[in-house]
Structure 1
């Protein structure tokens, strides 16, 4: 079996276990360049198959997992062991019915105090485990569910489960590297009769069928953005038979199907609600439609059942140009890579055209069975944007990207770029080792590709460890101007050079693409140099490490004013500067404030 055959086998939902295991064996022995991650599992039931299915979905993403299974119901011990082993990801799975033997059955007769005490025992151990795992870059915490979900909403079982999950949520909120993964929805869609195997549960504390373990592994893959391999930002939407039923140019605005009370309009109305929720969570919505612009504008402005309006759209390409060209134009306008785009269209022709010409774009076709459309958005499209949660600062991006368009219009009225930048009233607020910003810092490090000098993908635990380390500083900076509050848009990390006591080394420097080119990238170095000199350092060292996407910053340190000291065969360039004499590039129009 070749590597390609093995990957194809793993991608088949109906592949029998013997073929899955054979494919994993082939890929384990492959010399292909898979990125390697180490995962630890901590569960209060037996979930041996979870490691197998995690590896299955990781290989599909180009990642080779080493899985440490842990012991049975040894949460604190497992967390300590996995953290000491240096795992990149810790998966914690509490099976609610096994908090104590037959826990759901016991709940019928236990009083409230006894019920709370038993659940508090697990939650207390969870807190100790999460403290032990503070150095683990990322932790996935699965929520609890009922083994018998048919009980009523106010039953003792459901009340206890709700309290337990609230406790899990509180614990996750105290530890920024922790992401919760909801299981109730997975169970409802999969079906309890297919998810559980009572025979193996009572014999060996192994409650799940292989099929449901696969669902849990898929959820873990989604929550980690396919183990750190994807981060989509833009959802580009066709209009006719995608946002509404019918063709507006032929049926007219009053003739399209979008009535929430009748089929098929109610399906399109429901899907638009889903898209609106994605936009509120940070996704950028665009239109890419072959239509007369006036017809689409009429629907957006005046149709009584239209959910999406201009306020939710960051950009529109409504014309008669081919869809791939429009996507290229949108990417250029938003200054984003095409691999951050998802495109939805009802036409097989358009879908295939984008797949052929722009293979980096993730493409979906509206289902022929229209009733399946909301499920497609919920189960396959939405997780590309929101799995694992987003920070508060990443929400509401539409207005921030609209500000880019306003800035482009304003720029045309000035004689030169510097005059225009001075007019913006640019302010950069710099913070050092800001624990409260840990989630957003981690998110920005995962997403930033173009302006990223080293492209180090740190998780929350890694960043927290740097914040706590003597001799290291995590700078984070927020940007505002007269057009918009851009939020936290940059990260700069320095640490003392282990081989040169008099030097500070740049670990990472990255910025959101939406604030590039305004002088911000030069202004923050005033503080870095001042801090280093105050600590008695004499030299600053830095490196540019090339990737497929960061060519635009290949000469950044040259422009900043550092001296090239050496270069490696892979394109890596090393720089240094004597702090007492270095003349850094200036951007006097940017006001730098300490937060």
Structure 2
């Protein structure tokens, strides 16, 4: 019997938990006095998906989030979306079941002419565009891609052609709104299998086509796509070497003896996994090594083995030594200036996995499967979605060189007599933009993952950012940073809202990559100048303490504002007259497009 929160979460974490167990665990957690972050979710579907609410809540509780789910009415797309938007949902799910666009739509397609087929699908897409227009104020909208109820038909069939055209229409509608993302379901259906995903009895009797197992998988996809409902943002994948990146032990087998041949087993398994990891690195994931080995042996293998896919340029940091794995993970986190909760670790040793799990529970761990041919599927289906299911902006791709430039900068700094002399040598430059709608995706991503340099840690979704950009009394500043060592990309966001004669700082956050160079102070020259130009008299700001942002507790003191209040929890309020505000020195930073 489930009696405690811990027991309930353990049940929800079990993949084989029966529905009655899941419902019992949800009831326990619903009645719990524990503090959960609360989010509102609305569902709009043209079929019955009542179970989806329960399974969304399952995966949300596992992420420390309590969901309030509004199911909506049956096949009332525009009405549902308008009602959910007015209710202030944080997340909206739109699920179009293709076969139910009209009764037995896939069967009808066999005999319908092209014009009739197109008209029927255009009707739904027209209503979808109206619905998305009504949802512009919703933080995040997930539009689920359509699939066939009976997918066992030829690619050239009327059903497949109509589905492809319909999904193209969904993609076009989603692309028109910054807060909307199309989430494909065809791959999920293929993995689960149609026999396990559908139940004809309930579809024909109650328009409820999906089985509970498929709904559970779908809810997990939603959790991944929203980065566990905004709870996590994985950035770093740390890899063991022996029997993880290659077969065998390089220190014993030698470079020529390890298994990496792409044409024979088991080398082809490790070669395939390395290809997957290389793709992750290209998408912006930081790859690190944490291996008990002689460093020279690993370096030789990566340099000399003809089938080695991952090279030195793909690895941002490494700990190849004989220290314990948890200590090495802590060292890597310190080097990269990233939290351990953004780390994922893969190792073949159960001993090492358990040591990390016990000492660093915030790190997500995976063990290389004992059945080796399951290894690529583990990476594809469990590891890769942790990084990529939330979407990847162009700004996020391949950050390895950016982080390596930080190490180069640290070495360079030692050769200068003073910090300011060193900073002036970097030729730092900020490119500033205001209300740049083309950057909404990257701005939202940065807001979601920035924890250490984040003065308020107010999480916004794309719809929230876009709405602020449209407001006459608000300004969304975004800025990119470059120096003579690297282009760091879009690394900061600052949002202000005018209240009477005051300009109030809504949010200020930056990537840790550029902290401590004066960038954090230089941007305020534009903010103050803009506020004065609008006739404002005072700047107000606040620091809201979180578990991770102690780094910026005194930022506004250092900037030059006056502290007016400090709460018992460490949060602080600040203000200063704009006319004679003396900002912290940052003359060595060029501010462009201001």
Corresponding pairs, count: 592
Q: Distance in 1 between matches of 2:417 and 2:113?
A: 77
Does the aligned pair in 2 maintain the 1:179–1:388 contact within 8 Å? no
Q: Distance in 2 between matches of 1:339 and 1:196?
A: 36
Structure-1 residue corresponding to 2:228 = 226
Structure-2 residue corresponding to 1:128 = 130
Q: Distance in 2 between matches of 1:249 and 1:3?
A: 47
Please give the residue correspondences for 1:39-438 in structure 2 after superposition, counting only pairs within 5 Å.
Answer: 39-438=41-440
Write out per-residue CA displacement over residues 500-553 of structure 1, whole angstroms, 9 at most, x where no aligned residue.
x22111111000000001100000000010011111111101111111111111
Q: Give TM-score scaled by structure 2 length.
A: 0.98
Q: Distance in 1 between matches of 2:212 and 2:354?
A: 34
Q: Distance in 2 between matches of 1:282 and 1:111?
A: 46
SS in 2 for 1:108: coil
Structure-2 residue corresponding to 1:441 = 443
Tell me how far 1:115 sits from its aligned partner.
2.1
Tell me how far 1:343 sits from its aligned partner.
0.6
Tell me how far 1:146 sits from its aligned partner.
1.1
1:588 correspondence with 2:580 = no
Q: Distance in 2 between matches of 1:371 and 1:311?
A: 28
Tell me how far 1:112 sits from its aligned partner.
2.5
Write out per-residue CA displacement over residues 115-166 of structure 1, whole angstroms, 9 at most, x where no aligned residue.
2222222112111111110000001111111111221222222222122112
Q: Distance in 2 between matches of 1:254 and 1:157?
A: 52
SS in 2 for 1:504: strand
Structure-2 residue corresponding to 1:556 = 555
Q: Which stretch of structure 1 is more off in the superposition, 374-383 or 555-564?
A: 374-383
SS in 1 for 2:84: helix
1:530 correspondence with 2:529 = yes
Structure-2 residue corresponding to 1:546 = 545
RMSD of the alignment, in Å? 1.1
Tell me how far 1:109 sits from its aligned partner.
2.1
SS in 1 for 2:273: helix
1:574 correspondence with 2:573 = yes
Q: Distance in 2 between matches of 1:93 and 1:311?
A: 42
Write out per-residue CA displacement over residues 381-416 of structure 1, whole angstroms, 9 at most, x where no aligned residue.
111111121111011111111111111122122111
Tell me how far 1:379 sits from its aligned partner.
1.5
Does the aligned pair in 2 maintain the 1:519–1:590 contact within 8 Å? yes
Q: Distance in 1 between matches of 2:274 and 2:75?
A: 44
Q: Give TM-score scaled by structure 1 length.
A: 0.98
Write out per-residue CA displacement over residues 247-279 of structure 1, whole angstroms, 9 at most, x where no aligned residue.
011111111111111111111111111111111
Q: Which stretch of structure 1 is more off in the superposition, 151-160 or 579-588?
A: 151-160
Q: Distance in 2 between matches of 1:427 and 1:280?
A: 26
Tell me how far 1:557 sits from its aligned partner.
0.5
Q: Distance in 2 between matches of 1:49 and 1:339?
A: 31
Q: Which stretch of structure 1 is more off in the superposition, 33-42 or 285-294?
A: 285-294
Structure-2 residue corresponding to 1:454 = 456
Does the aligned pair in 2 maintain the 1:181–1:388 contact within 8 Å? no
Does the aligned pair in 2 maintain the 1:40–1:70 contact within 8 Å? yes
Q: Distance in 2 between matches of 1:523 and 1:183?
A: 45
User: Where does the alignment leave 5 or more consecutive residues of structure 1 unmatched?
Assistant: none
Please give the residue correspondences for 1:454-533 in structure 2 after superposition, counting only pairs within 5 Å.
Answer: 454-497=456-499, 501-533=500-532
Write out per-residue CA displacement over residues 281-339 of structure 1, whole angstroms, 9 at most, x where no aligned residue.
11100111111122111221221211111121111211222211211111111111111
SS in 2 for 1:254: helix
Tell me how far 1:56 sits from its aligned partner.
1.2
Write out per-residue CA displacement over residues 406-439 of structure 1, whole angstroms, 9 at most, x where no aligned residue.
1112212211111111111111011111111000
Q: 1:111 to 1:301 in 2, by over 3 A?
A: farther
Q: Distance in 2 between matches of 1:289 and 1:19?
A: 40
